[in-house]
Amino acid sequence: MKLICKLCNLDVSKQVIELKDLSLLNKTDGQDLIPEGFYIVADDDDYFTPQHKGFIIINIKDLINSNYHSDKSRLNGCCGYDGSDGMNRVCLSKHEIGTERSDCWMSHFVAVDPESVKFV
Ligand SMILES: [Zn+2]
Ligand SMILES: [Zn+2]
């Protein structure tokens, strides 16, 4: 499966399959949370912020056809992007699609908004 932007139908992820073995999640700060090629849906586990409940979690390297948000206030972080100020990733047509979290004090992933994308 892959994710496409609902508004412009552009591919925004590589092929991904659901990760069933959650023991493969790596919650070490500064490292990838989820292996490439997989996704999970953020549940109400304490690990994910409440605003990401139901979002599709993928590896940053699996996000394609995407840029950073033009609103710099969305791009805070000390050495990466902390994703604490709303969605910071857009498709190439500038539609908001999700939030990259890639700062040093968190494990790294993109939380893709299920309202903005669909699986095909
Ligand atoms: Zn789009
Ligand atoms: Zn940092």
Contact 110, 58 (CB under 8 A): yes
Residue 77 has a pLDDT of: 97
| Centroid of chain to Cα 20 | 18
Q: Which numbered ligand comes closest to the C-alpha of 116? A: 1
For the segment 11-33, what is each residue's pLDDT rounded down to a tens digit?
Answer: 999 999 999 999 999 999 999 99
Q: In whole angstroms, what is the distance from residue 117 CA to residue 93 CA?
A: 13
Other CB atoms closer than 10 Å to residue 114's CB: what's the count?
A: 16
Ligand 1 centroid–CA 21 distance in Å is: 31
Q: In whole angstroms, what is the distance from residue 15 CA to residue 78 CA?
A: 31
For the segment 89-110, what is each residue's pLDDT rounded down to a tens digit?
Answer: 999 999 999 999 999 999 999 9
CA geometry: angle at 113 spanning 31 and 105, to 5°?
25
Q: In whole angstroms, what is the distance from residue 75 CA to residue 67 CA?
A: 12
Q: Which numbered ligand comes closest to the C-alpha of 93? A: 1
Q: In whole angstroms, what is the distance from residue 106 CA to residue 115 CA?
A: 25
pTM confidence score:
0.96
